[in-house]
Amino acid sequence: MKKLFFVMLLGAMLLLGACQSDHSSSLGQESNSSQSSIDWSQAGPDAQKNQISFTDVKADVEQGAKFYDVRSEAEFNAGNFGITDNVPISDLQSGTLPEIPKDTKIYVHCLRGIRSAEATKILRDAGFTQVYDLGGLEQVEAIGGKIE
């Protein structure tokens, strides 16, 4: 009788433990549902490295961060993400830097990722401490951005 009670008690504990594990893992998935749908391999370099979604970028911009589109003015006017400022790479290359505090969070993107990488380097070399290269248009779209 004692053996049967012990086996039943052990079985109940294992069953409860398994249910609790399944429940806690599903909670974590629900809290990251927007980020879990992102294919991070398609994201830009810093978005991938830091798991930055477009929702994160929008929230940061609302809090004072900057989101720079470093394509030409014509490219920018043809379509952009709606929360970006156009700061052409040619301006940065000529030494015209944003007049903002050096610790301002800055996100950068371009068409394919080449100009954004160069802009990120220029800004970091100029002393800006929170610069994130989101890559090209397709990479920003991969983290949830939509061209307007």
pLDDT (tens digit per residue) in 21-56 = 333 333 333 334 456 799 999 999 999 999 999 999
Element (H, E) at 117: helix 114-125
CATH number, domain of 86, equals 3.40.250.10
Q: Do 124 and 63 fall into the same domain?
A: yes
Based on the domain organization, do 18 and 74 belong to the same domain?
Answer: no
Domain count of the fold of the chain:
2
Residue 133 lies in a domain: yes
pTM of this structure: 0.77
- Structural domain that includes position 6: 2-31
Q: Is 101 found in the same domain as 75?
A: yes
**In whole angstroms, what is the distance from residue 24 CA to residue 18 CA?**
10
Same domain, 60 and 99: yes
Q: How far apart are CA 40 and CA 139, in angstroms?
A: 9
pLDDT digits (tens, 9 = 90+) for 81-127: 999 999 999 999 999 999 999 999 999 999 999 999 999 999 999 99
